[in-house]
């Protein structure tokens, strides 16, 4: 065999050996941990910021006329959308002089809740979640958070939605 020199081999951008592929250096691991924790902190901060913005917006919502007093009998219910068209809400009239409004989205998985006047509760048919009519607190089932309450103002004989209590 004649003496030859191999031309310089092409350098791959990744290890060819299995062991090199599976080897994780301490520096790589610590970098990974740092990036992971940074991601967690940043995402938590982002969620907090979005919630703060949402609350800030909720206090500056434009009022919406829902219905007239005589349109809703005692035990009756009216569907309206507030603050946006994709936010269904229920206005209920459980007893004389009392009007309450809540978001219709179940706080478990956003199914629409149903008003059951006889049981004085909101019932979610998806997973049998129940909420109290008085304050929207969860009574049973998967929901852990109360239904968001819609602030109501009665002006003359008109009922207006003026804000959202998250």
Partner 1 sequence: MEFFVDPSRCIGCQACAQACAECDSHRGISMIHLDFVDRSSSPQTTPTVCMHCDDPTCARVCPADAIKQTAEGVVQSALKPRCVGCSNCVLACPFGVPRYIPALDQMMKCDMCYDRTSAGLKPMCATVCPSGALYYGSRETIVQMRREQPTNTFVFGRRVVTTKVSLMVSANTSALEVDIASFLPSPEDPSAGNNPQQVAA
List contacts with partner 1 (CB under 8 A).
1-2, 4-7, 9-10, 12-14, 16-19, 21
Of the pair 4, 144, the CB lying nearest partner 1 is at 4
In angstroms, what is the minimal distance from the CB of 150 to partner 1?
Answer: 51
Q: For the stretch 20-53, what's the b/e string if a residue is b when 16 or more beta carbons lie within 10 angstroms of its beta carbon?
A: eeeeeeeeeeeeeeeeeeeeeeeeeeeeeeeeee
In angstroms, what is the minimal distance from the CB of 143 to partner 1?
Answer: 41
Of the pair 14, 60, the CB lying nearest partner 1 is at 14
Return d(Cα 137, Cα 162) in angstroms, integer: 21
In angstroms, what is the minimal distance from the CB of 28 to partner 1?
Answer: 16
Q: Which residues pair with 163 in a beta bridge?
A: 151
Q: What does the DSSP 8-state code read for residue 34? A: H
Of the pair 17, 60, the CB lying nearest partner 1 is at 17
Of the pair 5, 60, the CB lying nearest partner 1 is at 5
**Between the CA of residue 30 and those of 7, 154, 162, what are the distances in Å?**
38, 60, 51
In angstroms, what is the minimal distance from the CB of 22 to partner 1?
Answer: 10
């Amino acid at each position: 065999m004649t003496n030859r020199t191999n031309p310089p081999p092409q350098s791959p951008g990744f290890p060819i050996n299995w062991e090199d592929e599976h080897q994780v250096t301490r520096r790589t691991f610590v970098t990974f941990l740092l990036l992971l924790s940074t991601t967690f902190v940043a995402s938590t901060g982002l969620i907090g910021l979005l919630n703060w913005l949402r609350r800030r917006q909720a206090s500056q919502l434009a009022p919406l006329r829902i219905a007239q007093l005589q349109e809703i009998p005692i035990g009756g219910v009216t569907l309206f959308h507030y603050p946006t068209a994709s936010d269904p809400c229920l206005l209920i009239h459980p007893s004389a002089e009392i009007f309450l409004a809540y978001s219709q989205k179940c706080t478990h998985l956003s199914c629409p809740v149903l008003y059951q006047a006889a049981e004085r509760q909101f019932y979610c048919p998806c997973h049998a979640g129940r909420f109290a009519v008085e304050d929207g607190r969860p009574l049973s089932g998967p929901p852990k958070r109360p239904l968001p309450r819609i602030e109501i103002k009665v002006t003359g004989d008109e009922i207006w939605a003026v804000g959202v209590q998250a």
